[in-house]
Amino acid sequence: MRVFFRFVVFFSFVVILFSCNRNRLKVDISEIESTVEFVNFGEELFSLPLIDTLAELQNLRQQHPDFFDLFTYQIIRIGGIEDENFATYMTSFLTDTMILNAKSMVEEEFQNLNNTENEINTAFKYYRYHFPEKKLPTVYTYVSGFNQSVVTAENIIGISLDKYLGRDNEYYRLLSTAPEYKIKNMHKDKIPADVAYSWGMTEFNHITETTTLLDHMIHEGKLMYFTEALLPETSDSLIIGYTGKELEWVEGNEAEMWMYLVEHKMLYSNKRMDIIRYTNDGPYTSGFPLDSPGKTGVWIGWQIVRKYMDENPEISVKQLMENTDYQEILNASGYFPE
Tell me the C-alpha distance between 218 and 272, whole Å.
16
Q: Are 232 and 126 in contact (CB under 8 A)?
A: yes
Residue 22 has pLDDT above 50, yes or no: no
Residue 3 has pLDDT above 90, yes or no: no
pLDDT for residue 6: 45
Q: Is 305 exposed, middle or buried (0-12, 13-18, 19+ CB in 10 A)?
A: buried
pLDDT for residue 14: 43
Tell me the C-alpha distance between 37 and 138, whole Å.
5
- The type of residue at 214 is L
pLDDT tens for 167-206 read: 999 889 888 778 999 999 999 999 999 999 999 999 998 7
Tell me the C-alpha distance between 19 and 228, whole Å.
12
pLDDT tens for 53-77 read: 999 999 999 999 999 999 999 999 9
pLDDT for residue 178: 84
Can you tell me the mean pLDDT for 226-237? 97
Residue 2 has pLDDT above 90, yes or no: no
- The type of residue at 208 is T
Residue 9 has pLDDT above 80, yes or no: no
Residue 8 has pLDDT above 70, yes or no: no
Q: At what angle do helices 86-95 and 53-63 cross, to 10 degrees?
A: 90
- The type of residue at 194 is D
Distances (CA, A) of 64 to 55, 60, 95: 14, 6, 22
CA dihedral for 107, 110, 111, 117, sign (positive or negative): negative
pLDDT for residue 208: 75
DSSP secondary structure string for all residues of 307-328: HHHHH-TT--HHHHHH---HHH
pLDDT tens for 292-306 read: 999 999 999 999 999
pLDDT category at 108 given cuts 50, 70, 90 is very high
The partner residues of 317 in beta bridges, in order of sequence, read none
Which pTM does this prediction carry?
Answer: 0.91
pLDDT for residue 302: 98
pLDDT for residue 216: 97
Q: Are 323 and 242 in contact (CB under 8 A)?
A: no
pLDDT category at 19 given cuts 50, 70, 90 is very low
